[in-house]
Amino acid sequence: MSMEDGLHGKNRLSRSESPAKIGIVHFGPGAFFRAFSAIYTDDVLQEHGGDWGIAAVSLKSPTTRDQLAEQDNLYTAVELAESGKKERVVRSISSVFVAPEDPGAIVDLLSVDNVKLVTLTITEKGYCHSPATGDLNGDHEDIIHDLKNLSEPKSAIGFLVAGLARRWRAGQAPFTIVSCDNLPSNGQVLRKLVLQFAKLVDKELAKWIDRNAKFPSTMVDRITPATTAQDVEELENSTGFYDPACVVHEPFRQWVIEDDFVAERPAWEMAGAQFVTSVDAHELMKLRCLNGTHSSLAYLGYLAGYVTIAEVSNNSSFAAFCLGLWRDEILPTLPQPEGEDLNAYCKGLLARYQNAAIRHKTWQIAMDGSQKLPQRILGTISDNLANGIVPKGLCLAVAAWIRYVGGIDEQGKEIDVRDPLAFTLKQLLDAAGSAQEKVQSILEVSEIFDSRLANNPVFLRELVDAYQRIEALGVEATIEAHINA
């Protein structure tokens, strides 16, 4: 059965009640949002009610809207544990929009008084910025378009500024903007980008946003594999409902939020969210401990022929490699987050990775590495080098990424590399000869590597050595040699 199957006669979900009044606009209604913050909001609505319905906005594709439209914007979230599955119907999405179809309608929506929050899960590349510097990418085609056509934006940044501008001119209060993406200090990053864009539109508008809008940082955590046709079929067999918008996720979830809002917000703490003065330590913990090792296992594991993170992490050598990354290279760089036991957190992460019910594909995690590496791995490497430590394990991970974006795996098969810089990276690697030339050419990509790290001779030497070992021995043998060194 195709996931896009629109056959008549299939049983679909439907509402028996009216959806909640919209109080939240969310950009990026993908699987993670539907498995994470939409469920927190649903918990609050089911227990406490309130005008916190979500208007979900897709910036590109109509797929999610079309799937949900046939079932009153309801969908099923399936929790996957090794002990079995749990299903629930999520009701927090009140409406879904596809921005390119009517961008003006989204700007209108952002100016509605009852909209108090705008949340985002648009992935790193959706911010139209340079990950290495955190600055707005003025050459991005969507940013160029939006500066000329602010009444009909294309980018999330353009929509945010257009909505805030409308409220500024109308004498309304701004909304609070909550990034739920895996960026360090995501609220501060988003605030900087919005202000940089707003200054190009109207300096007085930028001053008003600076004084009045709020951009709380967050830390989000729940493993959410891509939904497969098999997931949809199994759900239909189990419940009797055909639900192509269903999502699957692990039991664990954690949402840490900086308590800094313009006005009222949902009582997410009643659903288990943690409100704190600063999320920096929690965020760094998650980015480096989870996302950093997730990406490391994805590149190394994919090259070695593993399809899922569970398969990689249940291999004793890769598990030992991961434990060594935490112990020797990651935890020594971290401040202590409030209320967290870092060693216990990492042991829990390995158990989550090894959950065989979660088929989180290495290929899926490997996407958009050029956007992810600076936050997930390169900062940790820089901190280690500054402390006089050579992080050999993380250098292996970066070397595996370089080999991965070269587009050919260890069996000589072509890799479907999904990355905004995929073409540029492959061109550089194809033009280079030796391992040293290949590594040096990639280090010169300033969108990924800052100049201090790119010009560090210790890093270069270790990265070239790691790349050569992977090329000569293969990933499995390289990992074995590393953990036994």
pLDDT in tens, 343-367: 999 999 999 999 999 988 999 999 9
Is the predicted pLDDT of residue 134 greater than 90, yes or no?
no
Three-state secondary structure readout of 124-169: HHHHCECCCCCCECCCCHHHHHHHHCCCCCCCHHHHHHHHHHHHHH
The mean predicted confidence, pLDDT, of the chain is: 95
* Nearest residue to 420 (alpha-carbon basis) of 370, 454, 457: 370
State phi, psi for 118 to the nearest 5 degrees.
Answer: -125, 125
Is the predicted pLDDT of residue 2 greater than 60, yes or no?
no
Mean pLDDT of 42-62: 97
**In Å, what is the CA distance from 422 to each residue of 87, 401, 406, 470?**
38, 12, 9, 21
Q: How many residues does the chain have?
A: 485
Strand partners, 119: 26, 178
CA neighbours closer than 13 Å in the CB half-sphere of residue 115: 26
pLDDT at position 42 is: 98
Give, to the nearest 10 degrees, the angle between helix 475-484 and helix 292-303: 130
Neighbours of 478 (CB within 10 A): 22
Cα 201 from Cα 301, distance rounded (Å): 46
Strands 176-179 and 218-221: unpaired
State phi, psi for 480 to the nearest 5 degrees.
Answer: -60, -45
Mean pLDDT of 112-135: 93
What Rg value do the Cα atoms of the chain yield, rounded?
23
Torsion of CA 93, 98, 102, 104, to 10 degrees: 60
Cα 402 from Cα 445, distance rounded (Å): 12
Cα 99 from Cα 31, distance rounded (Å): 18
Q: Percent of the chain having pLDDT more than 90?
A: 93
Provide the pLDDT confidence category of residue 1 given band limits of 50, 70 and 90.
very low
Longest dimension (CA), the chain: 66
Is the predicted pLDDT of residue 133 greater than 90, yes or no?
no
Q: Percent of the chain having pLDDT more than 70?
A: 98
Is the predicted pLDDT of residue 264 greater than 80, yes or no?
yes
Residue 48 DSSP SS3 = helix
Query: The tokens 């059965």 sit on which residue?
Result: 1
pLDDT tens sequence across 403-426: 999 999 998 999 999 999 999 999
pLDDT tens sequence across 19-31: 999 999 999 999 9
Strand partners, 384: none
Query: The tokens 């809008």 sit on which residue?
Result: 213
